[in-house]
Amino acid sequence: MIEGFDLAAFVAATLAEDMGQGGDRTSAAVIPADAVLTAVMDSRDPVTVAGLPLAAAFFRALDVDCTIETLVEEGATVPAGTDLMRIHGNARALLTAERSALNTVQHLTGIATLTRHYVDAIAGTGAILLDTRKTLPGLRILEKYATRMGGATNHRMRLDDGVMIKDNHIAVAGGVEPAVRAAKAAGLLDVVVEVDTLEQIPPALAAGADRLLLDNMGPAMLREAVALIAGRVPTEASGGVNLQTIRAIAETGVTYISVGRITQSAPAADIGLDFA
């Protein structure tokens, strides 16, 4: 379903975390073994949806015969009160899986929804929203999937996906130019280098940087940087970006804007599972 993601292992580990050694004692005590349940997963907020196939996997892991009807597409933006999924099957199994399924959908939908707000804020500017590696350990593939559902483009997934020379690399290497030249000499293509002053731009370009990450620059300085670079390489604005500032940043002419907040600070969506 999601490239590079072991869904079966994720579902098994998450259910094991929730069920412990004794399983769902409440459902076992109060729900007859042969009872059936029909329930609807619905959103209490306007959201951009992500994670429904994972929710289905949780329910099917405990009741292989359950029937699931997905009512909206992944990445769809829907109003509050929208039914997202209808589930019918063994009541004990579905109630045991409920929290794991909801936690996953709430978290991923929260990321997709916040991402969509950022994408909408820069609509028409030509700038492309990127996510970052500011993700919860173990959940990066899922969280970056959710940003795609919200309309963002994935930045590098891992450290081996590309070369990004940042301020600490530059400090240890002795400057922007030697850092970039070392990366290029190692045969590493698509070298991205972070600069936080206009003075660092000419030596970065001279050394062969393939993209410049313009870090913590305000709109005025970003315009100067974009003019100085003059289209020779793509540009990426980063640092201090929020919903109040991103439009002005996008209008400076940068190619990309990377935002850690869309994964790092997204609130969970209000999604529930109700008896139908």
- Residues catalogued as catalytic: 99, 134, 166, 194, 215
| Cα gap 258→260, rounded to integer Å | 7
d(CA 47, CA 35): 32
Q: Return d(Cα 210, Cα 208) in angstroms, integer.
A: 6
Dist. CA 239–CA 249, nearest whole Å: 11
Query: Can you say whether the dihedral through the CA atoms of 247, 251, 252, 253 is positive or negative?
Result: positive
Q: CA–CA separation, 93 vs 96, rounded Å?
A: 5
The answer to whether the beta carbons of residues 76 and 113 sit under 8 Å apart is no
End-to-end alpha carbon distance in the chain: 28
Reading phi first (left if > 0) and then psi (alpha if -120 to 50, else beta), residue 190 is in left
The answer to whether 204 and 180 have CB atoms below 8 angstroms apart is yes
Beta carbons within 8 Å of 11's beta carbon, 6+ residues apart? 54, 57, 58, 61, 100
**Tokens 């929804």 identify what position?**
113
CA–CA dist 217, 224 (Å, integer) = 10
